[in-house]
A and B are shown apart, each in its own frame.
Chain A
């Protein structure tokens, strides 16, 4: 079983590695790159704890082969905002108590980035459907929805300020 050389950009940095065909992207990120912000929950593409952005789209990294990410641009929770600052979604989850144990939070936030990119002003129902592939077993989702709503408002303001 031959190894494969892959090169991808992760959080703005180019990474090249030799990997097995079967290495899952989530294991590559966590174990080869020591970036443990991306979590493994169910490992069956149900829970969304491993959600990352692959070429700008939310993807469950437990169900993606590392070899297939050759040439891709990947963002994980670590790369969402410059060190020491918070992305509006991170700030909103903090302000609105959008987490209890925090295990689902990185995936929830990465999924919400994609959601707000495609729908900057979602209704509550659209948010609930939009995060339907991400499970939280603590909050009952209400504060997560509020967090996404706050972030949507903040991001709209930021956008207005830059126009």
Chain B
């Protein structure tokens, strides 16, 4: 399969990319790793007139803690994240997810920024970002903006990014004592999109009471979904087995899966229930370490 023809432009700086995009208009698309966009172009689901290659821009590949935040440059590849010591030691939820995302050769090229900017509820990172309450930093024609994750996903492949905006950085509140997260997805085979996936992040105080909790769901709704009712039930509580059981039930009720070749709606609701409970337990175990 060969994509429809397009004009290729290589940008060497964020500024140059934005200028190109502003000049070329809405028919131009940015490409970072290209492992979501290029397959769609080959299937002719996407037929952009112009591709602006941002993968060669320097300085957008980094993972660091800075002040209260973990900051990840948008062009950081999934492989770089997989082998990063800071993420391995302090953010094990990232390893959970990356291990299950596509396969090693795809992760060599695919970037975290692309995974999020693509706006696909089937991708794994959106659920993690919801759970960890990330901020998305973007640069565009009208300067830099910081978008809270709850305002980022607008619809099926739709995000808060304007056509000329480039997602440059992901900011996640720094891991602290008493916090922990976990992610798992059920997949038909290695590298598949999730049949259903759940990301959980909890923050406990010294007496074990849940101060903050985030639960994000993968591929069971058109838009990456936060399990608000489940979070409300847990916040301010000591998390018991009974509460976990209830949140699992809520997850199965509130998710919006459709029957497809990955399973029936009922099966997916059941999977969401089970993984939600397991990930709550795993996140709690990590938070208590």
Instruction: Give the B-binding residues of A (Cβ under 8 A).
Output: 1-2, 4, 20-22, 24, 27, 43-46, 48, 51, 57-60, 63-65, 67-68, 70, 111, 114-115, 118, 129-130, 132-134
A48 contacts B55, CB within 8 Å? no
Known: A48-B103, A132-B103. 5 other contacts (CB 8 A): A21-B6, A51-B105, A57-B109, A59-B108, A63-B106
Interface size counted on chain B using CB atoms at 8 A: 29
Q: Bits for B89-117, please: 1 = Cβ < 8 Å to A, else 0.
A: 00000000001001111101100000000
A58 / chain B contacts, CB cutoff of 8 Å: 104-105, 108
B39 touches A45 (CB 8 A): yes
**B35 partner, pick from A21, A22, A45, A134, beta carbons under 8 A:** A45
B residues sitting closer than 8 Å to A (CB atoms) are 1-8, 10, 34-35, 38-39, 42, 51, 53, 55, 79, 83, 99, 102-106, 108-109, 190-191
* Residues of chain A lying within 8 A (CB to CB) of residue B51: 21, 65
Are A130 and B35 in contact (CB-based, < 8 A)? Answer: no
* Given A45-B39, A46-B191; A60-B83 close (CB under 8 Å): no
Query: Which of B1, B35, B99, B104 counts the most chain A CB atoms within 10 A?
Result: B104
**Contact with A44, one of B6, B10, B42, B79 (Cβ below 8 angstroms):** B42
Are A22 and B3 in contact (CB-based, < 8 A)?
yes
CA distance A54 to B242 in the complex (A): 51
Chain A, interface SS category: mixed
CB <8 Å contact, B105 and A65 = no
Q: In whole angstroms, what is the CA distance A27 to B1 when docked? A: 10
Q: Closest 5 CB pairs between A and B?
A: A133-B103, A21-B8, A132-B190, A57-B108, A58-B105
Nearest-neighbour CB distance to chain B for A25, whole angstroms, equals 11
The interface residues of chain B, by DSSP majority, are classed as loop
Residues of B within 8 A of A22 (CB): 2-6
| 26 pairs from A and B in contact (CB 8 Å cutoff) | A2-B7, A4-B8, A21-B7, A22-B3, A27-B2, A51-B105, A57-B79, A57-B108, A58-B104, A58-B108, A60-B105, A60-B106, A63-B106, A64-B34, A65-B38, A67-B53, A70-B10, A114-B105, A114-B108, A129-B104, A129-B190, A132-B104, A132-B191, A133-B103, A133-B106, A133-B190
Please judge, given known A-B contacts A22-B3, A45-B35, whether A64 and B106 are in contact too, CB under 8 Å: no
Q: Is the CB of A67 within 8 A of B8?
A: yes
Question: Which A residues lie within 8 Å of B35 (CB)?
Answer: 45, 63
A59 touches B4 (CB 8 A): no
Question: Closest Cβ of chain A: how far from B206's Cβ, in Å?
Answer: 38
A51 to B106, CA, bound (A): 10
Residue among B7, B10, B99, B105 making CB contact with A133, cutoff 8 Å: B105
Expressed in whole angstroms, the Cα–Cα distance for A128 and B53 within the complex equals 33
Interface pair A68/B103, CB less than 8 Å apart = no
In the complex, what distance in Å separates the CA atom of A134 from the CA atom of B190? 10
Q: In this complex, what residue of B is CB-closest to A21?
A: B8
* Nearest CB of B to A67, in Å: 5
CB pair A63–B108 under 8 Å, yes or no, is no
The residue in chain A whose Cβ has the minimal distance to the Cβ of B82 is A118
Residues of A within 8 A of B191 (CB): 46, 132-133
